Amino acid sequence: MAKAKGKKRVYFFGNGKAEGSAKMKEILGGKGANLAEMMNLGIPVPAGFTIATFVCDEYNKAKGKWSKDLTAEVDKNLAKLERAMDAKFGDPEKPLLVSVRSGAAVSMPGMMDTVLNLGLSDKVVEGIIAKTGNARFAYDIYRRFIDMFGDVVMGCHHEHFEAVLDAAKKKAKVENDNDLSDSQLKDVVEKYKAVYKKHVKKPFPQDGKVQLAHAVNAVFGSWNAARAIKYRQLNDIKGLLGTAVNVQAMVFGNMGDDCGTGVCFTRNPSTGKKEFYGEFLMNAQGEDVVAGIRTPVPLKQLSKVMPKAYKELTGLMTRLEKHYKDMQDMEFTIQEKVLYVLQTRNGKRTAEAAVKTAVDMVNEKLITAKEAVMRVEPNMLDMLLHPSFDPKAKRNVIAEGLPASPGAAVGQVVFNADVAEKWRDDGKNVILVRIETSPEDIGGMDAAKGILTAKGGMTSHAAVVARGMGKCCVAGVSELNINYKTNKMTIGKLTIKQGDWISLDGSAGQVILGRVATVEPKLSGAFGKFIAMTDKFRKLGIRTNADTPEDSKRARKFGAEGIGLCRTEHMFFEGDRIWAVRELILAADDYSTMLDETKATEDKKEIATIRKNYATAIKQFEGALKKLLPYQRSDFEGIFKAMAGLPVTVRLLDPPLHEFLPQDKKAQAEMAKRLKVTPKQVAGEVEKLHEFNPMLGHRGCRLAVTYPAIYRMQARAIIEAALKVKKSGKTVLPEIMIPLIGSVKELKIVKDDVLDEINKVFKEKKTKIAYMIGTMIEVPRAALTADEVATEAEFFSFGTNDLTQMTMGFSRDDAGKFLGEYVAQGIYENDPFQVLDTTGVGKLVETGTMLGRITNPKLKVGICGEHGGEPKSIDFCHKVGMNYVSCSPFRVPIARLAAAQAALK
Q: Which residues are catalytic?
A: 461, 864
Residue 663 sits in the site that holds a second copy (CB under 8 A):
no
Answer for which of 814, 834, 879, 881 binds a second copy (CB under 8 A) is: 814
Is 645 exposed, middle or buried (CB count within 10 Å of its CB: 0-12, 13-18, 19+)?
A: exposed
The reply to whether 805 sits near a second copy by the rule CB under 8 A is yes
Instruction: Name the segment binding a second copy (CB under 8 A); options: 33-41, 388-396, 557-565, 702-710.
Output: 702-710
836 binds a second copy (CB under 8 A): no
Closest approach of Cβ 758 to a second copy, in Å?
21
Which residues, including other chains, have CB under 8 Å from residue 612's CB and lie 6 or more apart?
Answer: none
CB proximity list for 754: less than 8 A, separation 6 or greater? 652, 711, 712, 715, 736, 738, 773
Alpha-carbon torsion, ordered 671, 676, 681, 685, to 10 deg: -50
CB 862 → a second copy: shortest distance, Å?
20
Stretch that binds a second copy, among 268-276, 552-560, 737-745, 759-767 (CB under 8 A): 737-745
- Residue of 218, 433, 465, 806 interacting with a second copy (CB under 8 A): 806
> DSSP characters for 836-876?
--TTTHHHHHHHHHHHHHHH-TT-EEEE-SGGGG-HHHHHH
Query: Does 705 engage in binding with a second copy (CB under 8 A)?
Result: yes
How many Å apart are CA 558 and CA 546, to the nearest integer?
13
* 841 touches a second copy by CB under 8 A: yes
Residue 586 is inside which H or E element, if any? helix 577-599
Show the binding pattern over residues 216-235: x = contacts a second copy (CB under 8 A), - = does not: --------x-x--xx-----
CA atoms within 13 A on the CB side of 841: 31
Applying CB under 8 A, which of residues 616, 839, 879, 881 lies at the interface with a second copy? Answer: 839
Backbone angles phi, psi at 357, to 5 degrees: -65, -40
CB of 270 or CB of 804, closer to a second copy: 804
Which H or E element spans position 782? helix 780-784
Q: Does 745 bind a second copy (CB under 8 A)?
A: yes
Binding flag, residue 742, a second copy (CB under 8 A)? yes
By CB under 8 A, residue 495 contacts a second copy: no
Which span (73-81, 90-98, 479-487, 598-606) binds a second copy, by CB under 8 A? 598-606
Site string for a second copy, 758-787 (x = CB under 8 A): --------------------xxxx--xx--
818 binds a second copy (CB under 8 A): yes
Q: Containing H/E element for 185?
A: helix 182-200
CB of 605 to a second copy, least distance (A): 10
From 75-83, 257-265, 637-645, 823-831, span contacting a second copy (CB under 8 A): 823-831
Give the DSSP letter of residue 95. B
Q: Binding a second copy by CB under 8 A: which of 169, 193, 611, 702?
A: 702
Q: Are strands 402-405 and 260-265 parallel, antiparallel or unpaired?
A: unpaired
Q: Residue 807, interface with a second copy (CB under 8 A)? A: yes
Alpha-carbon dihedral 282, 286, 288, 294, rounded to 10 degrees: 30
- 801 counts as binding a second copy under rule CB under 8 A: no
Stretch that binds a second copy, among 365-373, 424-432, 541-549, 689-697 (CB under 8 A): 689-697
Report the 3 state secondary structure along 685-727: HHHHHCCCCHHHCCCCHHHHHHCHHHHHHHHHHHHHHHHHHHH
Q: Closer CB to a second copy, residue 318 or residue 601?
A: 601
Q: How far apart are CA 332 and CA 335, in angstroms?
A: 10
Which one, 82 or 846, has the nearer CB to a second copy?
A: 846
Q: Does 95 bind a second copy (CB under 8 A)?
A: no
Under the binding rule (CB under 8 A), the answer on residue 815 touching a second copy is yes
Cβ distance to a second copy smaller for residue 166 or 752: 752
The secondary structure of residue 611, as a DSSP letter, is: H
Candidate ranges 11-19, 34-42, 445-453, 802-810; the one touching a second copy (CB under 8 A): 802-810
The DSSP element (H or E) to which 418 belongs, if any, is: helix 417-425
- What is the CA angle 367-368-374, rounded to 5? 90
Residue 837 contacts a second copy per CB under 8 A? yes
% helix, strand, coil for the chain, step of 5: 50, 15, 30
CA dihedral 591, 592, 593, 596 (to 10 degrees): 130
584 close to 620: Cβ distance less than 8 angstroms? yes
- Compose the 574-593 pattern: x for residues touching a second copy by CB under 8 A, - for all others: --------------------
Distance between CA atoms of 509 and 456, rounded to whole angstroms? 13
Indicate whether 565 belongs to the interface with a second copy (CB under 8 A).
Answer: no
Query: Does residue number 693 form part of the binding site for a second copy (CB under 8 A)?
Result: yes
Q: Which is nearer to a second copy, 598 or 634 (CB)?
A: 598
Site size for a second copy (CB under 8 A): 57
Smallest gap from Cβ 229 to a second copy, in A, equals 8
Sign of CA dihedral 476, 477, 482, 484: negative
425 in contact with a second copy (CB under 8 A): no
Rounded to the nearest 10 degrees, how much is the dihedral formed by the CA atoms of 140, 144, 145, 147?
A: 140
How near is the Cβ of 804 to a second copy at its closest, in Å? 9
Among 183, 396, 486, 601, binds a second copy (CB under 8 A): 601
Could you tell me which of 326, 375, 382, 359 has the C-alpha nearest to residue 528?
A: 359
How far apart are alpha carbons 711 and 755 in whole angstroms? 10
Residue 609 contacts a second copy per CB under 8 A: no
- Least Å distance, CB 791 to a second copy, is 14
Q: Is 844 in the site for a second copy (CB under 8 A)?
A: yes
Query: Using CB under 8 A as the criterion, which residues of the chain lie in contact with a second copy when the complex forms?
Result: 224, 226, 229-230, 596, 600-602, 691-698, 702, 705-706, 740, 742-743, 745-746, 749, 778-781, 784-785, 788, 802, 805-811, 813-815, 817-818, 821-822, 825-828, 837, 839-841, 843-844
